[in-house]
A and B are shown apart, each in its own frame.
Chain A
Amino acid sequence: MVSRGGASLVEREPVFSRDGKRLLVCTACTVTVFSVQTGEVLTVLKGHTGFVNSVVVVPNATICHCWTAALDGTVRFWDFAAGTLLRTVNVGHPVQSMVIPELCKPRDAEKGDGKRKALVAFLSVGWYKGEAKDESEEDVKGRVICYNLTSAKQIPGHLAKTRYVETLCVSPGGGLVGMADDHKAWIWMVPQGGIEKSNVIPWTILHHTKRILVLAFDSSETRVAAGDHTGRILVWENVGDRTFSSIDNDGKVRVGKFTPPPKIVMRGRVRGGGVRGKDDAASCTTYHWHAREVKSLTFTMDGVYLLSGGLEGVLVVWQMETGKRTYLPRLGGALFYIAPSLHPALFAIACMDNSIKLLNTGTMDVERTIQGIKPPFVMPKQVSMNPSMVSIEPSEGKIVVATHNLSLQFYDPASDQHVAELQVTPRNYVVGAREEEEEGLSTCVTHVAFSADGLCMATVDVRIGEQSIGGGACLKFWEKNLQNRKFSINTQIDEPHEISALSFQSRERMAVSCSDTEFKIWVPHERRASRVSWRCRSVGSYRQRPILAAAFSSDGSILAVAASEFLTLWNPATNSLVKVLSNAVVHPLQPIHHLAFVNQSNCLVAASSGERPLLTVWDVSTLSVRWSQAISVESLSVDPIRANFAVLAGVPSDTYQEGARNSDAVVGLFDVDSPAPLQYWTVRDGFGGTLLYTPVPQTSAEAPKKGDDNTMTDLVPSKSKLTYLTSTREFVVFDPYQREDEPEQPKVRDVSVPEEVSSAFTALYGKAVQPKKSDAPADVLSALSKAPWGTLLNGPSHVLPSLSVVCIPFMDSLLKKRTEQT
């Protein structure tokens, strides 16, 4: 059974379902439906073969249908409650962005049944120059087209050509469609009476001197806000007054009579300041707080406030009338998207740290966080040694990754869920510091290692000096509290040495850390009564060679230390050098980076990378080489049960194939006896990837050792699982011994209906405690909630949406009820 996970949740804008109970999030080639109430995964919509870029939900509270568009050139229609694909429309071009203005207006499906209007989508697609699609990517230009989804036909003509494929946005009422394109913003008005030809759609362009990154419309559809890359927010008032007004009055587009925006407008009319050139707007106001680029913008439903977020990780709420700002700082990462919900105070914020935060603007509080696996960070340039920032907690099988902010994230690969986060050193991470992009983080966790029983953890965090002032490292030993299953710090060692590798012994409490010239063995030491702390017991070095890897044998009697290209075997009890091994076959030797003892055998695997990479299997009992092979090993992991090991290797240059990408790699499963791999899998994005065996808990690992090895290993089904984690922190967990012909069991997800969404009242004041007695008042309450308009008007008047928004659904609900009764 293969389980994948770790997709980024924040690549695209999340979308709320119409009933407000579900949140649809684009996760690579799938769409994941989360419950707003609990943050759990409800459904995964699988089917697309390219990255899903847009989700549009059908505006009907009773049915859960949505359209999705993806880079594979298809637009699909789903029932996301059941998770089934209903329809596929092949557009033929990779769709970067899709908006369907029709679906922005709240309406019922039945209403449209009588004379069903054609559903027209605005698509921003990649357009190849010629007809041949296998041309290089540079020739792809952006193009905005209209597409009739009902008849699956493209409406002839196009709306715009762009240099790059840009993202579209639509106004809340569906009247305007906008697109930010370099220094200008395109605005199209959606005609009321259907579209037959693309080039008759009225449009206007707003200009700016800086690159515009994001656009937003308010509900009145006269105000447009744009955020640029310098941090300014521009708000144009009465956009398209002149261009669109004549059409608006008639309510219909006069086909063929549309003229481009008038060239000269200055007819003595006093125009507001700030509007550039001949742009069709009354005034343009600039709001400036963000120091860096504005990534997301959204108007509140009533248009009184504007929410903006940027690289600083601070949500700014602007009061449009006064320009007054309210801040919500320390959100943990740059804010990529702010998605409004039907609830006027509830917003979903997509944060750079791969989390979606549900924000209540009434209380200015984050109510719930949907946290994915945290993204990798830019390593400091000064950190030269290879860090091991990823590990697996042995007792529970959680993936542990180092994150920004000097934290460790515990992530459950089985359920693809965030479990816990532990900050190694308390510190305030400054989101979006300019230097970070150039020089990497100033502090980071470089190593994390667990003892075999999972009760002990060691971490190394480094601080990079500013102009070589104040740098340093800190080694910390943590102990797990068995009650609350959390790690608490036991010992903190400042400036241990420059640690390049860290490893625990499996039997006793003993750890080894390696640096440039020496290795140190750390043991717990009873300092005072009832207080055990770790201390350095002994220091060793071999010819002042840089040490890059160290490993204990499974019984703990041998410590293997890779001193540059030599393998040195030590007795950890006496700290004495036992033997030096050197593979004299290949010259010159490369320093050994990876080292591991293979279980159930007397073998030691050493891997060196560089110009002459070599994977060597040593037999420790005979002190001879069993076999060696020229493989450049990226990561090495040994099977906790069998005498096997798995390596992640780059494809050798001689077998480099045409078309294969440079970063392609191979995961190979080897036996200690033969250099031919038992199994191999090709993977992409191999560079910087990590291979980890999920350790088997101690009790079951020792079971096969009691009896005969051969029979027992056959009898006891191997439960060892291999986890492959890429540098972008997507992972796949699989059983390496499962044969390919075995049918993969489909994972059954219980598709449960999410709970009742909170009303505005509960959002503001919390849930009222209901009296237990089921007397008359309860009946009254239930009668109230059975009102035909449902919970539409629940809550105080000041948080209710504007009357124009509420009116139509309110009237609809009343009308519908009557027809059903009669």
Chain B
Amino acid sequence: MDAGRNDYVPVKAKAYPASKNPLSADARFWKAFKILATPQHIGAVTSIQFSPVDHHDFAVSSSTRVTIYDGITGEVKKTISRFTDVAYSGTFRSDGQLLAAGGETGMVQIFDLGSRQILRQLKGHKGAVHWVRYAPQDKLHVLSAGDDRTVRYWDVATSEPLSTLNGHTDYVRCGSASPTSNDLWASGSYDHTVRLWDIRTPKCVLQLEHEKPLEDVLFFPSGGLLASAGGTDVKIWDIVGGGRLVQTLGSHQKTVTSLTMTAPRESSSALEQDAPRLLTSSLDGHVRVFDLSSFKVTHAAKYPHPLVSMGLSTSSQTLAVGTSSGMLYIRQRKATEIKEDQEEKPKSLLDTTRSKKPKQLRPNNYRYFLRGRSESAAEGDHVLVKPQKGKLNAQDKFLRKFMYREALSAALATADPTVVIAVMEELVARRGLVKAISNRDAPSLEPLLAFLCKYIVMPKQTRLLVPVAHLVLDLYTESLGVSPTISHLISILRDRVGTEVKLHLHLQSLQGLMEPLIQASAQI
């Protein structure tokens, strides 16, 4: 400033006051899951199972087929449609090579994922099989639960049931394998009970009364606690303590259909969350995330359809939610912490391979003449810095040349409301906003209208954008019918403003209702 000549000052993005309730770490974590794909299935998506191996493909069971989705791209990889009736509970083996699935026919089928051939057919259930799982530790056994009120433990190699677990008095629709023991299984039934089975002595070792038909059962990673979902409640049980009810989580409006837990992590720093979280999905369309240390909801998301199934990859990168209407929502979080593992390779102390002596460069080598290019200045060196010209954004370049219309277009191209608002305010300060808005043709008017449609009802931007919208309408009334997209955008704008006005009327009437109540309560 004292140099006597001012340099061009780039327009800074508009800063808004920070929210009073900043997003919690959890909310930030779960908001980072962006929708990757929303494929539509024919029937309700009854089961979503992720492959335990890397890449984390997932099997989606709906109608008479099981679809394998790629865990990274969210695209369909394979479709297994060799079912004569509705298929249920497609699930991966622990190495991700084979897939087991139940079905309405009562048959449990084992498929090879490479060739999609049927390897085994486990016959024995007299009713539909809604739940099938591979044993988590070995590759040989499968547990299945059927509507014939039995749970069967199969040896896959011989296709023979090793044991049949009797005890439930209604359909068995869910279950879970203990993460710590090879022999402990839990199953949940419509007879309102969760039963824990020891496979070695095919007997029920513990019975938990949930008091509602059970939709899902899930062991905690520690193996000592168990969550059961039935009706609108999720109950947490202490198994080690003899089946004591620890907590009831009742925050859903409708039946809870599915339970998932984030995988426990070795390093809590890699992920923002430190304790594992329990995810519940419900027919009321909500997915809720519970903090398991406090049993409080830390995040919630709403879907437009009743949710019947949900799955989360063990890397906590991909979340899939299935609805009763057949819509599948695949959400994915950007992987950020992959590189850390590679850097922290511990160097073995016994590493005997000596580091190579840096080769002396000689003038007969071309690189000799390029040496020292990447050298950084040592301490005490006098550094001559080339005065760097700040790179200007497109909108700044235009503003510098007083090209106001182009500057506004460039700002709109960034799709960042803070930049657009800042450029608009700068144009107002230069008395150039009207010039920048007027005389636009249809292709250059479209982004402006789209921006207005999106942000005119946002409280932060409304103050500036409402007069701008008035100006746009004033300037372009005569040429409204020319372009169909413009007309469409105008109608969207009208609808947005209409709903906002309606909302305000509702709020005002609500305020009118509330005020006497508040005053009355203050007097008491």
Task: Give Cα A368 to B4, complex, Å.
Answer: 7
Check: B471 CB closer than 8 A to any chain A CB: yes
Which of A331, A435, A465, A495 gathers most chain B CB within 10 Å? A465
Given the contacts A469-B467, A470-B464, A357 and B1 also touching, CB distance less than 8 Å? no
The interface residues of chain B lying within 8 Å CB-to-CB of A371 are 2
Check: B245 CB closer than 8 A to any chain A CB: no
Contact B431 A466 (CB under 8 A): yes
The interface residues of chain A lying within 8 Å CB-to-CB of B15 are 492
Contact B5 A463 (CB under 8 A): no
Task: Give Cα A472 to B429, complex, Å.
Answer: 10
Q: Which of A426-434, A646-654, A664-672, A778-786 contacts B (4 or more CB under 8 A)?
A: A426-434
Contact A369 B3 (CB under 8 A): yes
CB distance from A535 to the nearest CB of B (A): 10
Task: Give Cα A355 to B426, complex, Å.
Answer: 26
Task: Give Cα A472 to B1, complex, Å.
Answer: 26
Contact B429 A463 (CB under 8 A): yes
Give chain B interface residues in 3-49, CB to chain A under 8 Å.
3-9, 12, 15-17
Q: Mark B317-344, 1 if CB is under 8 A from A, else 0.
A: 0000000000000000000000000000
Contact B9 A465 (CB under 8 A): no
Check: B428 CB closer than 8 A to any chain A CB: yes
The interface residues of chain B lying within 8 Å CB-to-CB of A442 are 428-431
Check: B236 CB closer than 8 A to any chain A CB: no
The interface residues of chain B lying within 8 Å CB-to-CB of A331 are 4-5
Check: A443 CB closer than 8 A to any chain B CB: yes
Task: Give Cα A442 to B432, complex, Å.
Answer: 11
The interface residues of chain B lying within 8 Å CB-to-CB of A365 are 5
Check: A483 CB closer than 8 A to any chain B CB: no
Task: Give Cα A472 to B432, complex, Å.
Answer: 16
Check: A421 CB closer than 8 A to any chain B CB: yes
Contact B3 A427 (CB under 8 A): no
Contact B2 A427 (CB under 8 A): no
Contact B5 A471 (CB under 8 A): no
Check: B300 CB closer than 8 A to any chain A CB: no
Q: Mark A436-460, 1 if CB is under 8 A from B, else 0.
A: 0000001100000000000000000
Contact A366 B5 (CB under 8 A): yes
Q: Mark A479-510, 1 if CB is under 8 A from B, else 0.
A: 00000000000001111000000000000000
Given the contacts A330-B5, A470-B424, A443 and B429 also touching, CB distance less than 8 Å? yes
Given the contacts A433-B431, A463-B428, A495-B463, A469 and B7 also touching, CB distance less than 8 Å? no
Given the contacts A331-B5, A366-B4, A427-B429, A466 and B434 also touching, CB distance less than 8 Å? yes
Check: B410 CB closer than 8 A to any chain A CB: no
- Name which residue of chain A comes closest to B14, CB basis: A494
Give chain B interface residues in 414-432, CB to chain A under 8 Å.
424-432
Contact B433 A470 (CB under 8 A): yes
Contact A428 B5 (CB under 8 A): no
Number of chain B interface residues as a range: 20 to 34
Check: A804 CB closer than 8 A to any chain B CB: no
Contact B2 A421 (CB under 8 A): yes
The interface residues of chain B lying within 8 Å CB-to-CB of A330 are 5-8
CB distance from A536 to the nearest CB of B (A): 12
Give chain A interface residues in 409-435, CB to chain B under 8 Å.
420-421, 423, 426-430, 433, 435
Given the contacts A428-B9, A442-B428, A466 and B433 also touching, CB distance less than 8 Å? yes
The interface residues of chain B lying within 8 Å CB-to-CB of A420 are 2
The interface residues of chain B lying within 8 Å CB-to-CB of A429 are 6
CB distance from A286 to the nearest CB of B (A): 24
CB distance from A124 to the nearest CB of B (A): 32
Contact of A466 among B5, B7, B428 (CB under 8 A): B428
Given the contacts A466-B434, A495-B463, A328 and B428 also touching, CB distance less than 8 Å? no
CB distance from A101 to the nearest CB of B (A): 33
| Chain A: interface residue total (CB-CB under 8 A) | 37
Contact A469 B5 (CB under 8 A): no
Check: A468 CB closer than 8 A to any chain B CB: yes
Contact B431 A468 (CB under 8 A): no
Give chain A interface residues in 67-106, CB to chain B under 8 Å.
none
Given the contacts A330-B5, A332-B6, A430 and B430 also touching, CB distance less than 8 Å? yes
- Name which residue of chain B comes closest to A406, CB basis: B429
Contact A465 B428 (CB under 8 A): yes
Contact B428 A366 (CB under 8 A): no
- Name which residue of chain B comes closest to A407, CB basis: B1
- Name which residue of chain B comes closest to A465, CB basis: B428
Given the contacts A430-B430, A492-B15, A467 and B425 also touching, CB distance less than 8 Å? no
Give chain B interface residues in 457-484, CB to chain A under 8 Å.
463-464, 467-468, 471
The interface residues of chain B lying within 8 Å CB-to-CB of A357 are 4-5
Check: B399 CB closer than 8 A to any chain A CB: yes
Contact A470 B8 (CB under 8 A): no
The interface residues of chain B lying within 8 Å CB-to-CB of A366 are 3-5
CB distance from A364 to the nearest CB of B (A): 10
Task: Give Cα A331 to B8, complex, Å.
Answer: 11
Given the contacts A355-B4, A463-B425, A470 and B9 also touching, CB distance less than 8 Å? no
The interface residues of chain A lying within 8 Å CB-to-CB of B430 are 430, 433, 442
Given the contacts A331-B4, A426-B9, A469 and B399 also touching, CB distance less than 8 Å? no
The interface residues of chain B lying within 8 Å CB-to-CB of A468 are 467
Task: Give Cα A468 to B426, complex, Å.
Answer: 15
Given the contacts A426-B9, A466-B433, A492-B15, A471 and B1 also touching, CB distance less than 8 Å? no
Give chain A interface residues in 321-335, CB to chain B under 8 Å.
328, 330-332
Task: Give Cα A330 to B17, complex, Å.
Answer: 32
The interface residues of chain A lying within 8 Å CB-to-CB of B1 are 421, 423
CB distance from B221 to the nearest CB of A (A): 34
- Name which residue of chain A comes closest to B474, CB basis: A467
The interface residues of chain A lying within 8 Å CB-to-CB of B5 are 328, 330-332, 357, 365-366
Task: Give Cα A230 to B130, complex, Å.
Answer: 89
Task: Give Cα A427 to B429, complex, Å.
Answer: 9
Task: Give Cα A494 to B425, complex, Å.
Answer: 13
Pairs of residues from A and B, 9 with the lowest C-beta to C-beta distance, nearest first? A366-B4, A470-B428, A369-B4, A469-B467, A426-B9, A357-B4, A443-B429, A330-B6, A366-B5
B interface residues, Cβ below 8 angstroms from A: 1-9, 12, 15-17, 399-400, 402, 424-434, 463-464, 467-468, 471
Known: A369-B2, A442-B429, A466-B434. 5 other contacts (CB 8 A): A332-B6, A366-B5, A469-B467, A471-B428, A493-B17
- Can you list 24 A-B pairs, Cβ within 8 angstroms, ordered by A? A331-B4, A331-B5, A332-B4, A366-B3, A368-B4, A369-B3, A369-B4, A420-B2, A427-B426, A427-B429, A428-B6, A428-B9, A463-B425, A463-B429, A466-B427, A466-B432, A467-B434, A468-B467, A469-B433, A469-B464, A470-B425, A470-B427, A472-B463, A494-B17
